[in-house]
Amino acid sequence: MKIKVHSYEVTATCQGEGNDCVLLLHGGPGLPSNYLFDAHTFLTDHGFKIATWDQLGCGMSDKPNDPSLWRLERFVEEVEIVRNALKLGQVYLLGQSWGGMLGLNYCFKYPKNVKAFIAADTAFDLIQMQRGFERKKLALGEEFCTMMARREAEGSTDHPEYQAAITILMYRHMCRAEKWPDVLNYCFANIAMPVLSTMFGPYLLNCTGNIRHFNWIDQLPNMKIPTLIIHGEHDYMLPDIALMAKDHLPNAELALLSGCSHLPFFEDPPAYNQVLLSFLNKMRKL
């Protein structure tokens, strides 16, 4: 369905019945929502409704040519507009990667609208996140790291040696599945580069966009919403960041998934699904 967000429209999707709704916030910024929706349809077999949408500029939503729109604060308001338009009431809010950053800031501003928050493979200190990126690149060797920086600086990232390094990093730290699901390949092939480049930056493992200096760690002790942090052992957003967040949140638990990286719901669905469903069922009883 189409939802009006000020002068534009975004495309939303819902599945399942009932009052227990998991509202999904996709990553990127700039990915379509398909990958996250498909990975969570199993929840409808357990009595949950799931809802998501392609954030403005992404997927099937409008794509205005206005860089001033690609700001965290505006996206927070977009979450609230969509929640109201879909008449979801209080939600279980699940944000993956960038969606976790967006979800956290929504919780800060609209805490009464969130029953529980799930932060899946995200970071709440983007300066530390960038340092972790450097560690992952250095693990390939200093020559690889130097080459990547040079190719990015001179604008020759289409060179085979740079693309080879990106392929290795993606398969080690984005999704370690032997064969990537078609929906994931589709989403990466259709990423909204204007949104990604403005907010994160155009290159993997190098955050140069307008979110690069954000750090919400000092605000976490004030958030009382029950929170589940799910994080992959090999994520390019280092597990140290997830542990730091857990230690600062007063009502949080952490599930570190062995053998997984940034997309554990594709890498080890049984483990991810069990952790998420157990937490949601526990929250249901409160």
The rounded Cα 127 to chain-centroid distance in angstroms is: 17
Both tokens of residue 215?
Answer: 């750090």
> Is 61 annotated in the active site?
no
Distance between CA atoms of residues 246 and 218, nearest Å = 12
Q: What is the dihedral of CA 50, 29, 231, 79, to 10 degrees?
A: -40
Q: Please, what is the Cα angle at 76 between 79 and 196, to 5 degrees?
A: 100
Phi then psi for 231, rounded to 5 degrees? -150, 140
Distance between CA atoms of residues 199 and 207, nearest Å = 8
Identify the active-site residue in 61, 97, 121, 248.
97
Nearest to 253 by CA among 279, 274, 272: 279
Q: What is the DSSP letter of 56?
A: T
> Is 261 annotated in the active site?
no
Both tokens of residue 210?
Answer: 């307008």
Distance between CA atoms of residues 77 and 110, nearest Å = 10
Identify the active-site residue in 173, 234, 248, 262.
262
Contact 36, 98 (CB under 8 A): no
Distance between CA atoms of residues 32 and 37, nearest Å = 10
Is 10 strand, coil or helix? strand
Q: What is the DSSP letter of 122?
A: -
> Is 66 annotated in the active site?
no
Question: How many angstroms separate the Cα of 248 from the Cα of each of 15, 129, 237, 242?
Answer: 34, 16, 17, 10
Distance between CA atoms of residues 173 and 176, nearest Å = 7
Identify the active-site residue in 20, 54, 235, 268.
235
Active-site residue list: 97, 235, 262
